[in-house]
Amino acid sequence: MKYLNEYRDSNLVLGMIDEITRTIRQKWVIMEICGGQTHSIMKYGLDQLLPESIELVHGPGCPVCVTSLEMIDKALAIASQPEVIFTSYGDMLRVPGSQGDLFSVRASGNDVRVVYSSLDAIKIAQDNPDKKIVFFAIGFETTAPANAMSVLQAQKLGLNNFSLLVSQVRVPPAMHAILGSPNNRIQGFLAAGHVCTVMGYWEYVPIAQKYKIPIVVTGFEPVDILQGLLFAIRELEENKIDVENAYSRVVNYEGNQAAQKIIERVFEECDQKWRGIGNIPKSGWRLKTEFNGYNAEEQFQVSEITPIESQLCISGEILQGLIKPVDCPAFANQCTPEHPLGATMVSSEGACAAYYRYGRNL
């Protein structure tokens, strides 16, 4: 496929592996932020090609994994109401709440639909004026513009049967949380290319300066990932700490300003609880109060929910890159994609799921 095969070219990949091997002299621990990058690394077996002195740890950049249990429970409660058509990105249907998941809610006769975009949910709202359509607006900076746009669109169309259940998260505060942790081992970051497409990379400059750590904006194809790693390792070996862009065919410094304006228009910063990690200050976005009419938490009485977490899973440590999925005693035993104990095994972007799918038995 044009514009993809070029970045999967085996000569290029093997050439970059050579260059990384020639450049590296010490051991380095590098975290790829995004679950999409984790999956590429595992799918293409890039970790098998890299020198052993690079340790890749997998970051919290999986929107499904980090959506808090309270929010999943709220989604289940809202989706269970007879007048509701609950719409969601497909992956969220699998995530277990305290009791059941959206698949179970659908199997009990409720209307739960997979959509590919929040704007598809708007169309469903137009077609079903006698129903209440709720869209589960989860995700990082990547989904925020389209999710915000759906509110403006609903307003423009005068829809009064559409609302968002919002659980938006932001990458930079999570990086602060990881780097500020006393257990931190991370020496360099591959920043998430799609997030930077929207936000640019100006937000990362103060982080790189404060923690003296290289941050490289990185794409998702094998060549992209290796280029990001090469940049990060060069910086580390030469001790020139900076924010660099290894995904310049898509990302620029300022980002997509039109998208950022839409986010600012609709959302405001808030503290956010991350599943497996805990509360991170100012790490989320919520709807501004002027949009309360489109806020599902305001429209439905779901505030009195106390979630019940299991204690077997260590997804918290995995999301912070403290341990690897294969080091978890439950991995591939009690915990599989069919019977996930933790969110990192549930989502197709989760680190445990990536190890389970591509790396088991190797």
Examine residue 306 and tell whether it contacts other proteins (CB under 8 A).
Answer: no
* Interaction of residue 116 with other proteins, rule CB under 8 A: yes
Residue 60 C-beta-side C-alpha neighbours within 13 Å: 31
Residue with tokens 């060549």: 223
- Of 206, 268, 278, 323, which lies in the binding site for other proteins, with binding defined by CB under 8 A? 278
Q: Does 51 bind other proteins (CB under 8 A)?
A: no
- Scanning residues 60 to 79, which ones bind other proteins (CB under 8 A)? 63-64, 69, 72
Site residues for other proteins, 204-243, by CB under 8 A, read 222
Of 320-359, which residues contact other proteins (CB under 8 A)? 320, 334-335, 337-343, 348-349, 356-359
The rounded distance, in Å, linking the Cα atoms of 37 and 218 is 9
Nearer to other proteins by Cβ, of 239 and 310: the residue is 310
> Between residues 90 and 129, which has the closer beta carbon with respect to other proteins?
90
Candidate segments 3-11, 210-218, 238-246, 251-259, binder of other proteins by CB under 8 A: 3-11
Beta strands 278-287 and 162-169, pairing class: antiparallel
Question: Could you say whether residue 188 binds other proteins (CB under 8 A)?
Answer: no
Residue 360 sits in the site that holds other proteins (CB under 8 A): yes
How many Å apart are CA 34 and CA 141, to the nearest integer?
12
By CB under 8 A, is residue 55 in contact with other proteins? no
Site for other proteins in 247-276 (CB under 8 A): 275-276
Question: Hey, how many other C-beta atoms are within 10 angstroms of the C-beta on 51?
Answer: 14
Q: Which residues pair with 215 in a beta bridge?
A: 189, 243
Cβ at position 268, least distance to other proteins in Å:
16
Q: Verify binding: residue 48, other proteins, rule CB under 8 A.
A: yes
List C-alpha distances in Å: 277 to 100, 109, 189, 269, 340: 22, 34, 18, 18, 18
Cβ nearer to other proteins, comparing 176 with 286: 176
Would you call 304 helix, strand, or coil by DSSP? coil
User: What separation in angstroms does the CA of 338 have from each of 14, 37, 46, 70?
Assistant: 35, 23, 26, 22
Among 89, 162, 204, 211, binds other proteins (CB under 8 A): 89
Tell me: does residue 100 bind other proteins (CB under 8 A): yes
Residue 193 within binding range of other proteins, rule CB under 8 A: no
Ranges within 7-36 binding other proteins (CB under 8 A): 8, 10, 13-14, 36
- Give dist(CA 337, CA 340) in Å, integer: 5
Which residue in 32, 101, 235, 244 binds other proteins (CB under 8 A)?
101
Torsion sign (Cα): 312, 315, 317, 321? positive
- Residue 321 DSSP code: T
Q: Is 59 in the site for other proteins (CB under 8 A)?
A: no
Interface positions, 122-161, toward other proteins (CB under 8 A): 138-140, 142-143
Q: Which stretch binds other proteins (CB under 8 A): 24-32, 259-267, 285-293, 309-317?
A: 309-317
C-alpha torsion angle, residues 205, 208, 211, 216 (rounded to 10): 150
What tokens were used for 91?
């992956």
Least spacing, CB of residue 69 vs other proteins, in Å: 6
Min CB(68)–other proteins separation in Å? 9
Query: In terms of residues, how long is the chain?
Result: 362
Nearest to 66 by CA among 135, 169, 175, 145: 169
Please say which residue, 49 or 152, places its beta carbon nearer to other proteins.
49
Q: Are 312 and 300 in contact (CB under 8 A)?
A: no
